[in-house]
Amino acid sequence: RQVCRVPLTPPGKIGTDRIQLTLTVNEQRVLVLTVKDLVTQRLLLDRAAMVANASQSRTQTATQGLEPIDGAVLGGLAGAKKRLGVTGEEDPISKYGLFGPSGKEEPISQFCEGLYTDEVEAEPEPQILLPKVDWSLLECRYHLTGHTNSVTSIAISPNGQTLVSGSRDKSIRLWQIGTGTWLRTLTGHHDAVTDLAISPDGKLLASGSQDKTIKLWHLRSGEWLRTVTGQDTPVFTIAFSPDGQTLASGGWDEAVMLRQIYQKAPPRKFFGHSGGVSAIAFSPDGQTLASCSGTTIKVWHLATGQLMQTLTGHSDLVVAIAISPNGQMLASGGGMRDKTIKLWDLGTGELMCNLSEPRTDVLSIAFSPDGQTLASGSYRTIHLWDLNTGELLRTLPGHSGDVFAIAFSPDGKTLASGSADGSLKIWELP
């Protein structure tokens, strides 16, 4: 059969990225084909061709995982029908032939002129086996100092080159991961910096503080851009949506607040918690938001604000949450009387298993980019867990205080940690 291949840059992540294929026949009898990356919101393809006998506008949309490593394969008419789930007389593509500039029916390869075209036989989808990471080889490469109080939060840029740290000393520091070099210090908050977030395109840095403000900075230059208003209580947690358009925040006011970064629109609020919101996390597809307060976790439908799930089971404060790269699992860490990490099915809210944190409370958690490993921070140590077996793979000592923040680099080869001892560590695989 005939296919059209759309090259994607950078390569998509299997089980994480999504593309949307939309076919529309409008009133002018024009068939419009668009392909959009739902994560980056980039338009990958936008083509139109005349069609015959179009009596009305029809639209079908299909969303699928990016199976090829370096492209998305859209299989001709047969492939489109299969993905769109249309059959028989109601098939809008077979009903209206495709016509090009000559007015004659042309193959789909003409419609996708300029793209790679190949004649391929239908084959079973390959099973891709991810290499197993040997975490015994992970070593502390850099020990970073400079903050004069606890490091409360860290973030790594999408290109994996910059580490950002926030502290109770009211400052934000930027570091070069490859060399451990301090780059610059950002000041402007009047109280402790509680959380940091970097936009998916790597351009913006957001910082939340106990001074009741959220500040936006240009990551590369360190320039302060603006202070986000409307927060009446200390900010505990912030996060960018996967498309980079929305900034979510939580604090003492018991609500999750959603702001449109590039639009002058009033913020949306999700109510339902009975205490301060300590952590929030977006699903990779941007459709779901999770937030925690007290001993419970709430899962929201982002577009409608509908409360989908309330997860209970922790016996102490839920301090940290994270959603897996494939969007199927949520991890939550409990406080001192709990000392467990719980893994939940994000779709059903079902508790899948418990990971027992040795001796102390869970203060921070992060999934590795391949979704196979979970890192958790506690008193003086970091633990690495195998998510396939629940086995504790390794304990990383070195900090002299609580590990409040941990983060993986996008390639999964670097782990950064920030502690109450005022220092950061950069751990790397060879």
**pLDDT tens digits along 49-69:** 433 333 333 333 333 333 333
**Residue 162 CB neighbours (<10 A):** 20
Would you give the DSSP letter of residue 402?
A: B
pLDDT, tens digit, 9 for 90 and up, residues 64-121: 333 333 333 333 333 333 333 434 443 333 333 333 334 443 343 343 334 333 433 4
Structure tokens at 16: 């994480």
Give pLDDT tens digits for 398-416: 999 999 999 999 999 999 9
Give the residue with greater pLDDT, 120 vs 261. 261
Count Cβ atoms below 10 Å from residue 140 Cβ, excluding itself: 15
CA dist 414 and 411 (Å) reads 8
**Range among 18-27, 61-70, 228-237, 341-350 with highest mean pLDDT value:** 341-350
Of 381 and 43, the structure prediction assigns the larger pLDDT to 381
What the chain holds in terms of domains, given with CATH numbers, is: 2-119 (no CATH), 135-428 (2.130.10.10)
Q: Which long-range contacts (CB under 8 A, 24 or more apart) does 37-42 make?
A: 37/8, 38/63, 38/243, 38/285, 38/286, 39/200, 39/242, 39/243, 39/284, 39/285, 39/286, 40/200, 40/201, 40/243, 41/243, 41/244, 41/245
